[in-house]
Structure 1
Amino acid sequence: MTDDRGALRADCARCTGLCCVALPFTASADFAVDKAAGEPCRNLLADFGCGIHAELRDRGYPGCTVFDCFGAGQQTSAHTFAGRDWRREPGIAREMFDVFGVLRQLHELRWYVAEALAREAAAPVHEDLRADRAELARLADAGPDELRSVDVPAVRARIDQRLTRVSELVRSSVPGRRRDHRGADLIGARLRRADLRGARLRGAYLIAADLRGADLAAADLIGADLRDADLRGADLAESLFLTQPQVAAAKGDAATRIPAALDRPAHWTA
């Protein structure tokens, strides 16, 4: 089975800085200033690059380093709008920003479907997943008008049913008791060296949780909040539905194991 997640990675060189203008910022620990949706970030350059890219964390913009559009930025800029941009044509700005928002969600779903198709344990639903992959690809290639009319919650709900089944199939391969922490408040939880193999952690709040040395093989992490979670020495290599933004928001080190499809964050300790 071909894993097409490589095409669902941000390529900022082919984007017109959409995340730096379309999205709002709120002054906080993640962003140094307030910025309204549709207002260009003060650090956005004329060529759509970031003027402080190498210093984002030091300059108070760690939130920028954990954002990932799953390739929606270049899809919007280079494909849907064929190289047109909101600066030269202000009249299409709102349309571009709306399309970017839709594509970002569709591409995230494409990421999950691609991972599910790469899981042998999910073979019983692979046929349905291939149909989902084809439909999501068709929508992503659609024109601006169709994209703006996509009922994203309905698409997400339909595919989530399939992903839930994938989770059940993958987690069932783990023997013994599997913890169910779906949506649980585990903020600051002491889970050092915890056996979380096959755990259901969908939507769990793991902010600042101590997960040092924990085993999360086959754990379902879709939507889990890992901001400032301590993953030093943890094993997430075979965890399910883990994404780059989740990894980037956490703390890790050289001993932290992550899925091969993800990049090790530059700010993690050696």
Structure 2
Amino acid sequence: MTELRADCERCFGLCCVVPAFSRSSDFAIDKPARTPCRNLGAGFGCGIHTELRQRGFRGCTVYDCFGAGQRVAQETFGGRSWRDAPETAGLMFDVFPVVRELHELLWHLTEALGLDVPGPLRAEVAAARAEVDALAGGPPEALACLDVGPQWRTAGALLERVSAHVRGKGGKSRRGADLVGKNLRKADLRNAGLRGVLLIGADLTRADLRRADLIGADLRGANLAGADLTGALFLTQAQIDAAKGDRTTVLPPTLTRPAHWT
């Protein structure tokens, strides 16, 4: 089974090098793409890992590579780092975001395989997962020029069928809706289709989100205090880490309550 959780000790700090970020409420400094963060240590560890939020690097705490970092480092490039083999740096930096996208898709397809769906649909999901996994394990030259868009569109449509089957006919679709800052306290969102919905800063206190489809939903700063996310579909740890919650928030068993929640 492909690892889909980050193992930073087996990576080369790729998430601290490849992305660019600008000074903002999420990042304390400007950093160009393909440039090591000033906090990246000689052993590829973050020098302020335990103080990221306090030091102004909240954005780092909500990033998830879905295991792409160690796969690129250990499998695609055979354990040779961009520091030890500088000639690999450019290609490695091209490959990492591609594999990260494929691994996020693998995360959702893996979840879909664990849901109660008809056999033929499950077989389609398994085949799609195998295809995406094979692509992610391909040679670096092929990965560097791979367009992931078609994979997302094909698998996305398949995941939508899975979602529709699991949620049934009771939930309403708000796909792509702009609900930024909306008051949704105690809202009944059971079985709702919330794909790609903008929920930035929304108040979802004690909202019922059981079996809601949240793939791609933007939950940055959303208040999930007391919300029930039992059985929520295609929800990621990064989405939860970007939201606010408390001890009464009910999460799916595959996700962890963030340390910064009250």
Uncovered stretches (5+) of structure 2, i.e. residues with no partner: none
Partner of 2:225: 232
Residue 181 of structure 1 is matched in structure 2 by 174
Alignment equivalent of 2:8, drawn from 12, 17, 27? 12
- The answer to whether structure 1 residue 194 and structure 2 residue 190 are counterparts is no
Query: SS of the residue aligned with 1:54?
Result: helix
User: Cα deviation per residue 1:72-126 (whole Å; 9 max; x = unaligned)?
Assistant: 0000001110111111222211110111111000000000001111110364410
| Residue equivalent to 1:139 | 135
Q: Residue in 2 aligned with 1:98?
A: 94
For residues 124 and 224 of structure 1, the distance between their equivalents in structure 2, rounded to whole angstroms, comes to: 28
Post-superposition CA distance 1:161-213 (Å, at most 9, x none): 101111111111x6x4x222111110111111111001111111100111011
**Percent identical:** 56
- Equivalence for 2:20: 24
Q: Can you give the 5+ residue segments of structure 1 that lack an aligned partner in the other structure?
A: none
1:117 is aligned to 113
Against the structure 1 CA distance between its residues 244 and 122, is the aligned structure 2 distance closer, same or farther, given a 3 Å change threshold? Answer: farther
Residue correspondence of structure 1 range 62-101 to structure 2 within 5 A: 62-101=58-97
User: What CA distance in whole angstroms lies between the structure 2 residues aligned with 1:24 and 1:263?
Assistant: 27
Runs of 4+ in structure 1 deviating by more than 2 angstroms, as ranges, are: 121-124
Q: Look up the equivalent residue of 2:143 and give its one-letter code.
A: L
Question: Once structures 1 and 2 are overlaid, which stretch shifts more, 115-124 or 260-269?
Answer: 115-124
Contact 1:116–1:122, Cα closer than 8 Å, also in 2: no
In the alignment, does 2:217 pair up with 1:217?
Answer: no
Shift of 1:136: 1.4
| RMSD of aligned Cα (Å) | 1.2
Deviations 1:52-73 (A, max 9, x none): 0000000000000000000000
> Amino acid of the residue matched to residue 70 of structure 1?
F
| 1:129 partnered with 2:125 | yes
Residues 9-66 of structure 1, C-alpha deviations (whole Å, 9 max, x = no match): 0000000000000110111110011101011000000000000000000000000000
- Note the C-alpha offset of 1:263: 1.5
